Amino acid sequence: MSKTIRFHLEGMTCASCVARAERVLRAQDGVESASVNLAAETADVAFHDPATPDAMASALSKAGYPARQSTVTLAVEGMTCAACTGRVERVLKAQAGVASATANLATRQAQVVLWGDADPATLAAAVTRAGYQASLLAETPATDPHGEERRLWRQTALAAALAAPVFVAEMGGHAFPAFHHWLHMTIGLPLLWQVEFVLASLTLLLPGRRFFVKGLPALARLSPDMNSLVAVGTLAAWAYSSVVTFLPSLIPEPSRAVYFEAASVIVALILLGRSLEARARGRAGAAIARLVGLQPKTARRVDGTEVAVALLVPGDLILIRPGERLPTDGEVTMGQSTVDESMLTGEPLPVAKGPGSTVTGGTVNGTGAMTVRVSAVGAHTVLARITAMVAEAQGGKLPVQALVDRVTLWFVPVVMGLALLTTLLWLAFGPGMAEALVAGVAVLIIACPCAMGLATPVSILVGTGRAAELGVLFRRGEALQRLSEVTGVAFDKTGTLTEGHPRVVAMLPDDAGLLAMAAGVEAQSEHPLAGAILAEAAARGIPPAAIAGFQALPGRGAQGQIGGVTVQVGSARLFEQVPQALADFAATAQSKGQGVLFVGRAGRAEAAIAVADQPKAGAAPAVQALAALDLPATMITGDAEATARAIAADLGIADVRAGILPEGKAQAVAALGGKVAFVGDGINDAPALAAAEVGLAMGTGTDVAIEAGEVVLMRGDPMGVVDAIGLSRAVMRNIRQNLIWAFGYNAALIPVAAGALVPFGGPQLSPMLAAGAMALSSVFVLSNALRLKRWRR
């Protein structure tokens, strides 16, 4: 069957590009026609098997015309186990133009990567035809986030109310013979069973209906899921009991027993489990909900009019009142205030803002009013990018998930086969039909593919959400697993371990007048250390002296005139006379990797100022914490050996690789051996960030570094590295616990449900107990994952 697809191409510059791209496409086996449009930069292709969009896109990329991908997120309702996610993924991957598809049971979403102009509505329709209600997430009508949870609780309450009389009539009679005798004498057994039939039928038809409308069609398509197990199990118990009630002659007398209570209680217990799951899911996915909720819906322009945030454009001026949440990113043009940026960095202390300061949407203004010029809107804001990063990481699959997916693909059919085999064996070798029914239904009900399907994604969901709260953003979910396995951490120095800008650390003599003269000269200088002198003078409240006749002296410093006297600031070469005390001070400072500027008049140095890029407050504790985790720290920097070793000695780093050029940092990381994480912040760190086992980028660094990193530390604090590694290890430990439970639960209890203990004098498991165990299995996995919300360093 012929299919069509439209690719959006890059690199198209002339008509020869069109011809070449068309030749490349037509050379693919199965391509019927290819038409490339230079103006639109598109390629329309008609094809049939064996041609595939992936193969065509790969050929175009090799030819120099890579096809752009787009991503669509679908909201998918009705997924209840790992078999469902596998089916949704298979349906989506079968659609033309789909490069990849990932369904996430924890978030109930499917992320689809498209090569061409595939219609998202078509994708949603295909998923809906497969038995799941799907819609574009962006077009999903606003609904109560707790609506499904409330519906489940209502259905649970109804199921419990209908099942309770049946349960009391049957199990109460067994527990209290007098009560059993009273029921038989008062109502009579036939009428009692008929009442139970009505109540059980209502339980299955009303609150239990969801299992049948989803499970039976899936079974008919030969793609059974967990709903199919519940539907077949409860229907078998109900049907057998109905025959005993209304056509007893068809059943041998020793086997005439009803199991209406089993069918009813199974529905009630499984609905209870799903209600608890829904509550836990809501808590697990709260991180993104909180991030989205930080975005105000309206903004106030400087003329006082309110406007929807979606209508703002870069350059608009908006007014931010005290206590308001900023609606979008921008730059302060007027006013002074402090801003709570804890949502961005995790740092509780407010940050001072004034004209020229950048502000971020979602943060909270303090006590002052500000006018802000909008710099970014919509998907380009920091908050939107953070939300997208968290969502992408939460939707990712770890390598371990591939094994789980392969197992769960066959799990439900195998369980149904085991249930049938169990029933046949009990019919052949057991005491009667009733016992065979109990064993078969118990096997169907106790099996829990949900726990296996949730084991990995829910831990990622909670873990990445908790990381975001700590200011650590995992851009890819698989980075969690690789970061948990690193054997060492390499750091860039400037801006990563240090503040990234020099400041005055000592002055001899500490003279305000000389500092004012130095600030006056440096105010007109472009020297890298000029900012440190000016910042020190400003911090002390010392105004720079008025300088006339400024003159830069390359390689030596700068000078100017004050009252006809020449004031000089620079290296020792600028001065004819440097007192021995100042020379000794300079030698000591330089041995520590500090820079030194001399200040003097008329060729004689009168003061020396030591300037250094100081280590960040969290740098030394981070190195110590990593050592406690058995992770050695290495410094890889382009700085001079003396400067690098001086900083490293202060921080407790023994392994220093200094004088490394940007292109050599990646090789330096590789030379360390093992699985090494690299932490950096600058453009020159991008190659090393990309080459490392995991790249961690400081959120205070350049956009290039942030794009190259798989983990972003929003606070720019080296202790964020410790948080990221510690949390990644906790997440992987949590996943292992969940998988051990999920697989161990099924491996241990399915044989028990089948009656494997009966020949040895053990009990035969009741379907009601099986339902309770199954419901609690998923709740255990979710509850275990939720412990990550409380993770602390």
Q: 474 is written with which tokens?
A: 């995992």
Q: What span, in angstroms and rounded, lies between the C-alpha atoms of 78 and 108?
A: 8
Q: Which amino acid is at 72?
A: V
Q: What span, in angstroms and rounded, lies between the C-alpha atoms of 494 and 417?
A: 63
Token pair 């009813």 in the structure block, residue: 264
Nearest to 788 by CA among 573, 444, 480, 491: 480
Q: What is the DSSP string of 213-230?
A: HHHHHHHHTT---HHHHH
For residue 581, give every residue at least 6 positions away whose Cβ sits within 8 Å of its Cβ, in sequence order, or none. Answer: 508
Q: What is the DSSP string of 325-391?
A: BP-SEEEEEE--EEEE-HHHHS--S-EEE-TT-EE-TT-EE-SS-EEEEEEE-GGGSHHHHHHHHHH
Q: Within a 10 A sphere around the Cβ of 683, how many other Cβ atoms? A: 14
Strands 3-8 and 109-114: unpaired
Q: Which DSSP symbol is given to 318? A: E
Beta-ladder partners of 656: 635
- Say whether 155 sits in a helix, a strand or coil: helix
Q: What span, in angstroms and rounded, lies between the C-alpha atoms of 12 and 72?
A: 25
Q: What span, in angstroms and rounded, lies between the C-alpha atoms of 545 and 511?
A: 14
Beta-ladder partners of 329: 376
Assess contact for 475 and 712: CB atoms under 8 A.
Answer: yes
- Using CB atoms within 10 A of its CB, is residue 563 exposed (0-12), middle (13-18) or buried (19+)? exposed
Per-residue b/e over 698-710, b at no fewer than 16 CB within 10 Å?
bbbbbeebbebbb
Q: What span, in angstroms and rounded, lies between the C-alpha atoms of 369 and 531?
A: 29
Q: Which residues are catalytic?
A: 492
For residue 104, give every residue at least 6 positions away whose Cβ sits within 8 Å of its Cβ, in sequence order, or none. Answer: 85, 110, 111, 394, 395, 457, 461
Order of strands, sheet of 31-37, starting from the edge strand that comes earlier in the sequence: 3-8, 42-47, 31-37
- Using CB atoms within 10 A of its CB, is residue 644 exposed (0-12), middle (13-18) or buried (19+)? buried
Assess contact for 33 and 2: CB atoms under 8 A.
Answer: no
Assess contact for 55 and 108: CB atoms under 8 A.
Answer: no
Strands 711-713 and 3-8: unpaired
Strands 565-570 and 557-562: antiparallel
Q: What span, in angstroms and rounded, lies between the C-alpha atoms of 495 and 698?
A: 8
Q: What span, in angstroms and rounded, lies between the C-alpha atoms of 642 and 150?
A: 65
The length of the chain in residues reads: 793
Taking only Cα atoms into account, the Rg of the chain, rounded to an integer number of angstroms, comes to 35
For residue 117, give every residue at least 6 positions away whose Cβ sits within 8 Å of its Cβ, in sequence order, or none. Answer: 5, 6, 8, 97
Per-residue b/e over 752-788, b at no fewer than 16 CB within 10 Å?
bbbbeebeeeeebbbbbbbbbbbbbbbbbbbebbbeb
- Say whether 614 sits in a helix, a strand or coil: coil
- Say whether 563 sits in a helix, a strand or coil: coil
